Amino acid sequence: MKTIFETSIPGRPGVWPDEPHKRAQDMLPAELLRGKKPDLPELSELDVVRHFTALSRLNFGVDTHFYPLGSCTMKYNPKHLEHVAALPGFTDLHPLAAQLKGAGQYTQGALEVMYELERLLCEITGMAAYTLHPMAGAHGELTGAMIIAAYHKKQGNQKTKVICPDSAHGTNPSSAAIAGFDVVNIESRDGIIDPAALAEVLDDETAALMMTCPNTLGLFEDHLQEIVAMLREKDALLYYDGANMNAIMGKLKVGDAGFDVVHLNLHKTFGTPHGAGGPGSGPVGVCEKLTPFLPISRVVKLEDGRYFLDYNHPDSIGYMAPFYGNFGVALKAYAYILRLGREGLIRVSEHAVLAANYLRKKLEHVLEIPFNRVCMHEFVASAVQQAEKGVRAVDIAKALLDKGHHAPTIYFPLIVKECLMVEPTETESRETLDLFVDDLVDILERADNYPEAVTGAPITMPVGRLDETKAARDMAVTWDLARELDEKQAQKPAPAADDA
């Protein structure tokens, strides 16, 4: 496809915004005005619309395709939330207005949203207080790990290590390490935490255990109560990675279960699209004894009903983000929660879990399912049997693209060989799930009988099988480099499947 600059015909501009240009001339000092017009492509409005619509169709998106990517939770985000986030009363606020003397009256609505959202998240998770500052899940983990460190320091505890099971998300150990802890890994057993393995490493130096629950295999921890008791005994804290909260909303308040710190991913559970680098939001909730260590500022409600930002917390870990986190994401989460209400959120979790188990049962005859028991919002299958015949998880994933489905997550989590991690989400209809099953079964039959039909996929996509190592190591992300590479590629035969 040509770039929009290559499509440009000099002298055929669609719209030229002269008016703002003139206004800028009146308002700005001469040295700030550009000397010549920007080098924009010249096309009619219709050609611009066609160009970008065609571009958007080169990609997979949830608006057109089933998207069973695992470890990602919700994919479809209701469109009305974008409308809420674009309300000018919010978008026109200057981020400093909340701190300006006399401007507080204009920010009351925004502060109310933040305050009320924190209360709602407390209700959903059973925590005492929240901060909305962290910009993503991993940033929330870092915030949580720093709060844990600050708490132990204040107590005079000599705590140096954080335990992470191998079924935890990879960001858990890295966040603990960045916060200054030594990370100790423990092996899971039957896909969940093994209390015996935990007992081996748990000691007085343990600051916390970080648990992803449901874990990256989509399994809930059976030994939760025992684990909580073991940690309490050593004065160690329990961290809950709540990125998978959409599996248990309304079913379990993690604070009541004994967790001390939790992060949520608003961009995975509460209505903001994710991927492609954000924006995200990873609010952190804490139990009562950890509230003094939360980042500043904190939103406070006064007795007369007004809100203000409180910076006076001497034990706080300080600032974790400029201003107040990603306010727009918080706003969408607030609207999403209010729109669904208590019953609606419970139904989200029930549907997410039901859809995953439906697929698991439908596929257990054709794919190996290493931990084949009732799962939560996702499950992990393995293509080890197919791999013996030369068809690997990556081949199945590529073949699904030709069938019009996005691929599941593959080769993650690392503890399952040739894995396909399937997460259908709460929004998909039974008909869509059935179609996915039929298409996957068809691919697996072909894998059995004509493996080369699968290892050559995809054949209908804008780009065929890529050399994935090269794509990551030797990136060409500007159009001229990509074009050069395309041309070179066209002169060479496609790489064999094994190179991928």
Ligand X SMILES: *Cc1c(COP(=O)(O)O)cnc(C)c1O
Q: Is 169 in the site for ligand X (CB under 6 A)?
A: yes
Of 280, 295, 413, 456, which lies in the binding site for ligand X, with binding defined by CB under 6 A? Answer: 280
Q: Is 214 in the site for ligand X (CB under 6 A)?
A: no
Nearer to ligand X, 240 or 307 (CB): 240
DSSP letter, residue 494: P
Nearer to ligand X, 99 or 174 (CB): 174
Nearer to ligand X, 424 or 456 (CB): 424
Structure tokens at 49: 């619309």
Residues 104/98, Cβ–Cβ less than 8 Å: yes
Supply the minimum distance, in Å, between the C-beta of residue 58 and ligand X. Answer: 25
Q: Is 375 in the site for ligand X (CB under 6 A)?
A: no
Amino acid at 457: A
Supply the minimum distance, in Å, between the C-beta of residue 225 and ligand X. Answer: 22
Nearer to ligand X, 171 or 386 (CB): 171
Q: Is 272 in the site for ligand X (CB under 6 A)?
A: no
**How big is the site for ligand X, counted in residues (CB under 6 A)?**
13
Alpha-helix residue ranges (DSSP H) falling in 42-129: 45-56, 80-85, 88-91, 104-125
Residue 38, classed as helix, strand or coil, is coil
How deeply is 176 buried, as exposed, middle or buried, from its count of CB atoms within 10 A (0-12, 13-18, 19+)? Answer: buried
Of 137, 144, 295, 456, which lies in the binding site for ligand X, with binding defined by CB under 6 A? Answer: 137
DSSP letter, residue 351: H
Of 125, 131, 244, 316, which lies in the binding site for ligand X, with binding defined by CB under 6 A? Answer: 244
- Cα four-point dihedral sign 400, 402, 405, 408: positive
Rounded distance, CA 374 to CA 191, Å?
A: 12
Nearest position to ligand X, beta carbon = 137
Q: Is 409 in the site for ligand X (CB under 6 A)?
A: no
Of 114, 117, 243, 294, which lies in the binding site for ligand X, with binding defined by CB under 6 A? Answer: 243
Q: Is 241 in the site for ligand X (CB under 6 A)?
A: yes
Nearer to ligand X, 386 or 409 (CB): 409
Of 77, 131, 171, 326, which lies in the binding site for ligand X, with binding defined by CB under 6 A? Answer: 171
Query: Could you tell me which of 397, 317, 362, 377 has the C-alpha nearest to residue 146?
Result: 317
Query: Could you tell me which of 422, 423, 499, 438 has the C-alpha nearest to residue 464?
Result: 499
- H or E, element range at 129: strand 129-131
How deeply is 91 buried, as exposed, middle or buried, from its count of CB atoms within 10 A (0-12, 13-18, 19+)? Answer: exposed
Supply the minimum distance, in Å, between the C-beta of residue 262 and ligand X. Answer: 11
Nearer to ligand X, 41 or 214 (CB): 214
Residue 93, classed as helix, strand or coil, is coil
DSSP for 441-468, written as a single string: HHHHHHHHH-HHHHHT--SSSSS----H
Supply the minimum distance, in Å, between the C-beta of residue 175 and ligand X. Answer: 9
**Span from 229-237, 238-246, 375-383, 412-420 in contact with ligand X (CB under 6 A):** 238-246
Kindly report the length of the chain. 500
Nearer to ligand X, 188 or 265 (CB): 265
Nearer to ligand X, 281 or 291 (CB): 281
Q: Is 167 in the site for ligand X (CB under 6 A)?
A: no
Nearer to ligand X, 137 or 173 (CB): 137
- Cα four-point dihedral sign 185, 187, 191, 193: negative
Binding site for ligand X (CB under 6 A): 71, 136-138, 169, 171, 212, 241, 243-244, 265, 280, 282
